[in-house]
Structure 1
Amino acid sequence: MEIIRDIVCQVYYDEKSSEKIFELLKLYLPKYEPLNLDYTSRVGSDEEFSSNQEMIDYFVNTDNVRSTFYWNQSTDNPNKIMFGVNITDDGKTVFSLTIDGTISLAEIYLKDLKQRLNSDIGVITFVNPAEYENGLDFKTKYQ
């Protein structure tokens, strides 16, 4: 079996939810490394966030904004999973798992992520995530 680096499994989610983001983050990366609090900022403000929760809540609860977040875990992570969330400006979310593994393993992760998000829309790419403008564009291209 050939190990492929940077296989990206992306799944469409028809809403934005801090609860869902942290639920899946803790599931796939239980020992995740928190983001730096200057990872991103509020629109039109330099005020830093006080926690990862506040940062995610801001983008989930603010309309017409977008941001992408990636978390890593340096220990107990044999497939080198990186968990990603792209909150789109049209109120949708595209979740991603980037792994080092086989195509079969990527298909398992994609299926699992789809089931947990109750979504039929997803794609596997290599090295670079799929390209799309917003949630609707992702849904249209990869349905």
Structure 2
Amino acid sequence: MKIIRDIVCQVYYDTKSSGKIFELLNFYLPKYKPLNLDYTFRIDSEEGFSSNQEMIDYFVNTSNIDQTFYWNQSTDNPDNIYFGVNITNDNKTVFSLTIDGTIEQAEVYLNDLKQKLDSDIGFISFVNPAEYYNGIDFKNKYSF
């Protein structure tokens, strides 16, 4: 069984949802390392964020804005999962799981993420995430 580093499983989600982001983050990385509160900033002011929840809510509740977030977990993470969320400027979301594992494991993670998001649009790539302009572009490129 050959372990491949940095397999990226990405799945399209037709909307934005803080609840879904934290539900899946807690599922895949229950002991995740919170983001630094200066990870990103508001587009309309220099006011910082007081919590990860406030940061995610801001990008979910602001239309036509894009931002990518990545979380990791340093313990109890045998597949070295990184959980990613790309909120796109057309108010969609592309979720990602980056793992170190086999192709078979990646397919299991991809299908699990697709099921949890009720989506049939997903893609596996290696090292680099799939390239796309926004959510609809991802959907058009990776719908099979």
Please give the range of the TM-score, normalised by the shorter of the 2 chains.
Answer: over 0.9
Tell me the CA shift for residue 110 of structure 1: 0.1
Tell me the CA shift for residue 45 of structure 1: 1.8
Secondary structure at the residue paired with 1:113? helix
2:53 corresponds to which residue?
A: 53
Distance in 1 (alpha carbons) for counterparts of 2:121 and 2:78: 27
Task: Give CA-to-partner distance per residue, 1:73-100, whole Å, 9 cap, x none.
Answer: 0000000000000000101000000000
Extract structure 1 runs of 4+ deviating beyond 3 A.
none
Distance in 1 (alpha carbons) for counterparts of 2:54 and 2:44: 17
Distance in 2 (alpha carbons) for counterparts of 1:122 and 1:136: 13
Alignment of 1:18-33 (within 5 A): 18-33=18-33
Alignment of 1:75-86 (within 5 A): 75-86=75-86
Task: Give CA-to-partner distance per residue, 1:15-57, whole Å, 9 cap, x none.
Answer: 0000000000000000000000000000032211000000000
Give the unaligned 5+ runs of structure 2.
none
The range that moved more, 43-52 or 83-92, is 43-52
Tell me the CA shift for residue 127 of structure 1: 0.2
The range that moved more, 94-103 or 45-54, is 45-54
Distance in 1 (alpha carbons) for counterparts of 2:60 and 2:39: 16
2:90 corresponds to which residue?
A: 90
2:10 corresponds to which residue?
A: 10
Give the unaligned 5+ runs of structure 1.
none
2:138 corresponds to which residue?
A: 138
Secondary structure at the residue paired with 1:109? helix
Alignment of 1:100-115 (within 5 A): 100-115=100-115
Q: Over aligned residue pairs, what C-alpha RMSD do you find?
A: 0.4
Secondary structure at the residue paired with 2:11? strand
Distance in 1 (alpha carbons) for counterparts of 2:56 and 2:89: 14
